[in-house]
Structure 1
């Protein structure tokens, strides 16, 4: 496992002030000595700094440079003799954070993989649950890829579900693709489905193509069908992760769940993966009506021809125009389900047409599918951020879901872009009333 390394304090000072330490402030040389020197050298510098005669011990304990004390520096480098002297003889506070990054001595030790120093601090009262803004000591050790440090922290009772607005430890391990660390956390009963960010640990592992992490999470009971905005099997097929596809299919992942653009995993496998990927998905995929030869060879040939057609602008333009007309005809007949199906086919032709997402969002809304309507409206806003109607579609979906405050804010933005829209203004005032009253 590759360890992630930060610039150390002495290196940072050298970059800041040059290599000639004789030209540095005494406090800076003092900090470097705490990092790499011995106790005797530390005392000698402190003696020369003790201009007011307060004593070497007082000077050592109270000297810092840019908010970093000798203890922080020694813990970062793992200089155990200096750490012992500072804590056992001078009684320096093992939980006092620096003023530069708000890191405690234990965080400096853990983030740099200095396990002996971390053990010493823990034995002398260091708070291992300390959280720096968005991350804990456990998060830091995971980020740097330090399994031994993580093993120690877990053995000392550090929770693997530590509160953080950043992400759960398991999310971070999956995001970084650290199967050894992921296994440790799962063995300590980490919830494979808990997440703070939009995506679950399984979805993060797939996004980063970490098949070992995918397998561990599935074995631990991760939801193999994901969320409404992320489909694990589709992502595995799109990335050509054969072993992940096998694992997900065996765990019961739905092979008939399309991605945002309406593409089934088997279609993605035919375009981006291998023949083997298509063979794995074929027995668990329902026949696609638009594929005339429903066989492994027939699917691959059909997708290949679709890809070729997408490379011809004229074919794409005509195909999309025909599909939009068919969808519009179905919508006029109030056949909203068929209209949504045809709009999905059109999105396969052009993934980046915001109007198609807008139209499909309206179909979903008419069918009472609020969440699907919102998903499409959000995509429409992403593609057309200056189009007022995109915000109207999103606001309407939010109103259906009774998320009145979000609807009010969304429609307010829409009116800024299109102040003449009567339908949006009407919905805006309805949202305002519900927001205020509810």
Structure 2
């Protein structure tokens, strides 16, 4: 077992390799502070030889390591350096086919064996993708490598070779994986391949995935590829997604997001695709109001012809909208005005709750928190999402209730109430298994919560009943 110091050093060198994209031999030079391979551990020199495709040197090192006399091939199969073996190094390095054939056909190394370097658990196929070695990848697939195998690394569960290929913009490898049957919409814990391609801003790989019928509206953690295209930002990716039928009026309001970021060309693109500028964002603000506050005058001018007049704006023109927004901001800096407004909204909210007017209640909650954006407390922001989730739940909209509960949980991950609201939303969506899991986590945070306990057992019963019926 490697020492704690050795493990720390391995982690450090892995980080350097990741950040600087260093070849394995160069990484070892930094790790061991010398370019003289004779001063490295023999296992490291063996990986360097495999990486470079030097079969003769590989055999020489394996023979020296053969302490029990079982032969060089047996030694090669059993030897690794901190979790990585010769096949991982070879296909992720120069990827020379003679070396690949020697290790697989003569040494009989497992083409699906994962490495254990820093817990990454990458297979030889995934190393070939990372190294951009298409010939080695083809060879591995011909020899039985599993292209559907996914990462087990925490926070990256479900990431396949296709995810890695498109994220790195490796077009030819992506095409080959798709032709060999890779799942175009395969979902990891954080993305589909399309999400990954857009994240990298690789419009060429985005086009390849869309040509293979990737779903441009697939949500992962309530995020769509369009949301990512605006976040990156990547106008070419956005255009490709829209051309493929991406929804431009999604729950995350792409037009409002583009206005917030001042993405003028994206605003034009979305409007041309029939994005509705009269849909408010989560704070009740229309895209044109957001543009007046955070964007440019040009953005306001672009959206003005498509936006319906706002009753509170006295002069309905570009200058009038900008002046109105400036006045609103000035009022929000007035403590007396804010307190008076907040008290009035609290009273209206109580009335709406009693009358079960949840649509009005949601709007009132929005206005209430908007009056306190200057100096609003972090906990209050979380409470805002929690209240919205409750309103959507009461209106029977499980999807939006779940979205807002997840936002609350993201902001305050140790707040048991966020888990309660997420569990309630999941039950509304009839996802009882996931609800049980979430509510169980909530109980760990607050074992004394009767409401979470009650909902947990209700979810358990419904889960059992649905399983029995199925």
Query: Aligned to 1:174, which of 198, 213, 218?
Result: 198
Query: Cα distance, 1:379 vs. partner?
Result: 5.9
Cα deviation 1:52-97 (Å, max 9, x = unaligned): 4444444444433223222221111124142243334444333333
1:189 corresponds in structure 2 to 213
CA change 1:374–1:34 in 2 (3 A) is: closer
Q: Which moved more, 1:99-108 or 1:338-347?
A: 338-347
**5+ unaligned residues in a row in structure 1: which ranges?**
none
Give the whole-Å Cα distance in 1 for the aligned partners of 2:343 and 2:150: 55
CA change 1:288–1:97 in 2 (3 A) is: same
TM-score, structure 2 as length reference:
0.76
2:316 corresponds in structure 1 to 294
Give the whole-Å Cα distance in 2 for the aligned partners of 1:394 and 1:350: 26
2:54 corresponds in structure 1 to 38
Q: Which moved more, 1:320-329 or 1:264-273?
A: 320-329
Q: 1:10 and 2:25 equivalent?
A: yes
CA change 1:108–1:295 in 2 (3 A) is: same
1:98 corresponds in structure 2 to 115
Cα deviation 1:181-223 (Å, max 9, x = unaligned): 1111101111111233321111122222222211111110112
Give the whole-Å Cα distance in 2 for the aligned partners of 1:75 and 1:310: 60
Give the whole-Å Cα distance in 2 for the aligned partners of 1:51 and 1:389: 60
Query: Cα distance, 1:400 vs. partner?
Result: 7.2
Cα deviation 1:323-365 (Å, max 9, x = unaligned): 4455556667876655544443333333444566666667667
Query: Cα distance, 1:293 vs. partner?
Result: 1.4
Higher Cα radius of gyration? 1
2:228 corresponds in structure 1 to 204
Query: Cα distance, 1:178 vs. partner?
Result: 1.7
Q: Which moved more, 1:135-144 or 1:386-395?
A: 386-395
CA change 1:428–1:187 in 2 (3 A) is: closer
Query: Cα distance, 1:109 vs. partner?
Result: 1.4
Answer yes or no: is the 8 Å Cα contact 1:211–1:243 preserved in 2: yes
Q: Which moved more, 1:130-139 or 1:329-338?
A: 329-338
2:329 corresponds in structure 1 to 307
1:281 corresponds in structure 2 to 303
Q: 1:48 and 2:72 equivalent?
A: no
Q: 1:23 and 2:23 equivalent?
A: no
Query: Cα distance, 1:320 vs. partner?
Result: 3.5
1:271 corresponds in structure 2 to 293
TM-score, structure 1 as length reference:
0.81
Answer yes or no: is the 8 Å Cα contact 1:404–1:432 preserved in 2: no
Q: State the aligned residue count.
A: 429
CA change 1:96–1:210 in 2 (3 A) is: same
Q: Could you say what the CA RMSD is over the residues aligned between the two structures, in angstroms?
A: 3.9
Q: Which moved more, 1:18-27 or 1:400-409?
A: 400-409
Answer yes or no: is the 8 Å Cα contact 2:284–2:367 preserved in 1: yes
CA change 1:359–1:137 in 2 (3 A) is: closer
**Partner secondary structure for residue 110 of structure 2:** coil
